[in-house]
Amino acid sequence: MDDFKRYSRQMLFSPIGEVGQKKFSQSRALIVGMGALGTAIANHLVRAGFGYIRIIDRDYVEKSNLQRQMLFDEEDVAAALPKTVAAKNKLTKMNSAVEIEAITADVNPSNITEFIASMDFVMDGTDNFSTRFLLNDACFKNKIPFVYGGAVSSRGMTALFVPDETPCLRCFIQGGEGTTGETCDTIGVISPIVDIIASYQVTEIMKYIAGDHEKLHRSLMTMDIWHNHSYAMKFASPKKDCPTCQTNEYPSLKTGVMHDITSLCGRETIQIQLESHFDLKEWADKLEKTTKVKETPFLLKAQLEEGERLVLFPDGRVLVQGTEDRGRAKALYARYIGM
């Protein structure tokens, strides 16, 4: 019980109590995305005492993140730290009893099964529907609760989807991998809506893990906190032809869905992955002959004379920053990395 002293006020809340707190401490969570939602979710879960948290993100900290991504600061920007590394540094200081596993990677059909293995639930901290549908399919195939969340502008949406108990994300949102939609990088976002949606996501999974299932919202909640709108679409029966929760096709898990070249919407960035590994030191030596190179333990930046920038990661990914033209990104990649 001494270990639980920090949670005393949480345990005084009768729906949680000592029993619920022990369940939290034994739970294993996966958070995909360490941006605005992901950092707020992680903050709540770590402070609440969830025992094991795996965090995954493919990006590094930039100054524009600081307005809404609560675990980062200017030192992280200066060091160009991967978001997972910077987040783990902060989270470990909050609660050393929680085990944090930080993975810098791009989640895709080839690795999602490995990432969700042994997890009790998955939290959506992503910013695109392609990845959300991937998480949705993987969770329903593996019978793992999926807590969806999205925030943009002053609007937000969230729902807890439980295999064999509720419909899935595809039953509500059509379009699958072809959905682009609006993002915080194209129309902006205010920080309060992020905090609110993340809080709803965490509250629902707390109810679920504590066993208070009668209090689950069982709806897709939407709100606009600037224009004072809110709506809850109550769960009905799943769509009869849903390829995820009814016909078990799981379209996002098919390897053909994965793309080697991905546009990061609104960021003038193209991600290219044609390799499985980069030796950063080796590439620093190669690129410094023709580019201005900045090397960190986690990534390598190369400023090109053409104006764009390459960012290389050890897992074989390259971000081509400064263009939204896939053809130009491929040309620059071929020129400096090779095809």
Query: Distance (Å, rounded) from C-alpha 85 to C-alpha 322?
Result: 24
The conformational region for residue 47 under phi > 0 = left, psi -120 to 50 = alpha, else beta, is alpha
Report how far apart, in Å, the C-alpha atoms of 144 and of each of 66, 122, 162, 278 are.
Answer: 32, 7, 7, 33
pLDDT of residue 44: 98
pLDDT of residue 185: 64
pLDDT of residue 274: 84
pLDDT of residue 181: 54
pLDDT of residue 127: 84
For tokens 């002293």, what's the residue? 5
Q: Which of 252, 248, 18 is nearest to 128 (CA)?
A: 252
User: Annotated active-site positions, please?
Assistant: 184
For the segment 253-286, what is each residue's pLDDT rounded down to a tens digit?
A: 986 544 588 877 667 899 998 888 999 999 999 9
pLDDT of residue 256: 54
> The tokens of 272 are what?
């290219």
Spans of the chain, pLDDT less than 70: 1-2, 175-183, 185-186, 255-259, 265-266, 339
> The tokens of 339 are what?
């095809």
Q: How many CB atoms lie within 10 A of CB 213?
A: 11
Coil/strand/helix, residue 160: strand
For the segment 14-68, what is each residue's pLDDT rounded down to a tens digit?
A: 999 999 999 999 999 999 999 999 999 999 999 999 999 999 998 999 999 999 9
Q: In terms of DSSP bridges, do strands 219-224 and 229-234 run parallel, antiparallel, or are they unpaired?
A: antiparallel
| Beta carbons of 71 and 39 less than 8 angstroms apart | yes
pLDDT of residue 271: 92
pLDDT of residue 180: 45
pLDDT of residue 93: 97
For tokens 């980062």, what's the residue? 72
Report how far apart, in Å, the C-alpha atoms of 233 and of each of 34, 158, 159, 293 are.
Answer: 27, 11, 10, 51
